[in-house]
């Protein structure tokens, strides 16, 4: 006999399979409605490609680099093909470069070069690639504080030098090649100065072979730089310290012909070396 006073179970009743499907459908419709509501307030999701591009371009011209970046990136994501997208990728790289986001800019421009090797603006893309590394090797803080950047690693400067060389090789008759040549003169001197800094450090450490090799490196890789005379002076001093008088005399003779007013010939370099030893006497010590 059924117990009419039996308490119902406290466990909730299970929802049938059909009920679950209905609930899921209602949830999906609700999310879709919310998404459409948000899209109405988000121009990044509703603007046509031409208006999106104009908004990005206007932001770039106005100096709002963050907004320009967002619009360019969303344009590329929503419209992966077309002339607006191609131009947006190139301008995105420039925007990131202007914003000093060098890693992102480099990645963007390299992707553009790989994707559109025959693009009408491919020369500019190669030039921008070189320019990114050029400014990456010239930190803004160094410019403000007037720090000698040649005392640090020159990896970015070397890459920029090679990139500008590539611009000249591929596009010799463009304005980009003209500017690249001028920047390469600056980079040649910068890289040569770095090598001379290292070579003179080796002299102070009495590592004469290392100093001579660095000086030869300057003459071989950076001809016509402003530091050829310094390289010859390093070689002359290094060979003198090693007792290689004939080689030292050859280096001095070439130095006299090319830079007769160089301070090494009047003994000023020797004075500078003694001055460094007074400040940092351990610099000239030999280690056993």
4 or 188, which is more confident = 188
Mean residue pLDDT across the chain: 82
For the stretch 14-60, pLDDT in tens is 555 656 665 666 665 655 545 444 445 677 888 999 999 999 999 99
Give the SS3 label for residue 71: helix
pTM for the predicted model, two decimal places? 0.72
Residue located via tokens 């030893």? 277
* Backbone dihedral region for residue 64 (phi beyond 0: left; psi -120 to 50: alpha; all else: beta): beta
| Sequence-ordered strand ranges (E) for 3-114 | none
End-to-end CA distance of the chain: 106
Question: 34-48, 212-226, 246-260 — which is least confidently predicted?
Answer: 34-48
pLDDT value at position 88? Answer: 97
| Domains of the chain, residue spans | 43-101
Residue (of 184, 178, 72) closest to 133 by Cα position? 184
With 0-12 / 13-18 / 19 or more C-beta atoms within 10 angstroms meaning exposed / middle / buried, residue 101 is middle
CA-closest candidate to residue 208, choices 288, 261, 286: 286
Average pLDDT of the residues in 82-89: 96
Give the pLDDT mean for 73-79: 96
* Lowest-confidence region among 37-41, 148-152, 178-182, 273-277: 273-277
């Amino acid at each position: 006999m059924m117990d009419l006073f039996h308490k119902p179970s406290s466990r909730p009743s299970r929802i049938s399979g059909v009920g679950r499907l209905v609930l899921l459908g209602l949830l999906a419709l609700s999310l879709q409605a919310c998404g459409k509501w948000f899209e109405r307030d988000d121009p990044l999701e509703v603007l046509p490609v031409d208006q999106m591009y104009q908004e990005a371009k206007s932001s770039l011209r106005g100096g709002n680099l963050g907004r320009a970046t967002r619009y360019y990136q969303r344009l590329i994501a929503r419209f992966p093909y077309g002339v607006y997208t191609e131009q947006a990728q190139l301008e995105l790289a420039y925007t990131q470069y202007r914003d000093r986001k060098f890693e992102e800019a480099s990645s963007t421009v390299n992707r553009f070069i790989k994707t559109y090797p025959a693009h009408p603006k491919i020369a500019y893309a190669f030039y921008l690639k070189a320019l990114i590394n050029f400014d990456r090797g010239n930190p803004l803080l160094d410019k403000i504080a007037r720090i000698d950047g040649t005392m640090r690693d020159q990896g970015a400067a070397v890459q920029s030098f090679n990139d500008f060389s590539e611009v000249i090789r591929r596009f010799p008759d463009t304005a980009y090649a003209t500017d690249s040549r001028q920047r390469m003169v600056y980079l040649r001197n910068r890289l040569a100065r770095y090598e001379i800094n290292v070579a003179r450090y080796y002299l102070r450490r009495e590592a004469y072979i290392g100093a001579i090799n660095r000086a030869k490196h300057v003459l071989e890789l950076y001809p016509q730089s402003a530091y050829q005379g310094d390289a010859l002076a390093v070689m002359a001093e290094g060979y003198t310290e090693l007792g290689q008088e004939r080689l030292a005399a050859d280096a001095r003779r070439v130095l006299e012909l090319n830079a007769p007013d160089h301070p090494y010939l009047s003994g000023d370099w020797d004075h500078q070396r003694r001055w460094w030893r007074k400040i940092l006497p351990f610099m000239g010590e030999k280690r056993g």
